[in-house]
Amino acid sequence: MPNPPGTSRAETVSARKLRAMAHPVRLRLEEALGRRGFARAADLAADLDLPANQVSFHLRVLADAGLIEEAPEKARDRRDRVWTRAKQTWELGSPEHPMEDEQAGTAVIRALAAQHHDLVQRIIAWAPEYSSGRAAGVHGTFNQYALWLDEEQFTRMLERIGSVVEEFRDLNEPGAAGARRWRMDLIAADDEI
């Protein structure tokens, strides 16, 4: 997952990972795997209506890049391959550690923006139902804040937000009773860009 700029826990993503993430099928697989938590190639093939051999190939590429990993504790036997997303925090690059493949990095940024757009569209569709009282249960939020901060203060705030997310990230296994997968995107920009 991308990490806020300036945080110390983030790994600058390698060109190999960027190229693995930049492929549209692999992006869809990673998102589908994130929704399920754990899955077999056949499950993901059915979810995405893709041939199982194509899914297996792309899963191997994602695994070779370190973006997903096997979850043997979820397997039925030694031959059963169950996959999960690797727990990692990464950033695309920074002035101190520029990304190794700008073309692949730009493709990843565009894909992340498309996922963000999808998330916003789902909230837009749900919010009137909730706000009008026709639907109960919180399924999203759309908050906006305006802050006057210098760059160091902004970076410090992002680090604290990241710490809170890390604290809550592993409270439940995927599929745990009562737990739902929440997709949270944090987007911020100053008035200079």
The tens digit of pLDDT for each residue in 155-189 reads 999 999 988 998 998 899 888 899 998 988 888 88
| Predicted confidence band of residue 9 (pLDDT cuts 50, 70, 90) | low
pLDDT at residue number 26: 94
Q: Which runs of consecutive H residues, i.e. helices, occur in 88-191? A: 102-131, 151-169
Distance, in Å, from the CA atom of 31 to the CA atom of 104, rounded to the nearest integer, reads: 18
Q: Find tokens 């997310």 and name the residue.
A: 165
Tokens coding 118:
């999808």
pLDDT at residue number 183: 87
First to last CA, the chain: 24
51-76 confidence digits (pLDDT tens) = 999 999 999 999 999 999 999 999 99
- Give the count of beta carbons closer than 10 Å to the beta carbon of residue 124: 11
Residue 10 is given by DSSP the state: P
- pTM score, two decimals? 0.78
Expressed in percent and rounded to 5, the helix, strand and coil fractions of the chain are 50, 5, 45
Select from 84, 87, 60 the least CA-distant residue to 175. 84
Backbone phi and psi for residue 114, each to the nearest 5 degrees, phi listed first: -65, -40
Distance, in Å, from the CA atom of 69 to the CA atom of 117, rounded to the nearest integer, reads: 27
Fold of the domain built from segment(s) 11-169:
Arc Repressor Mutant, subunit A (1.10.10)
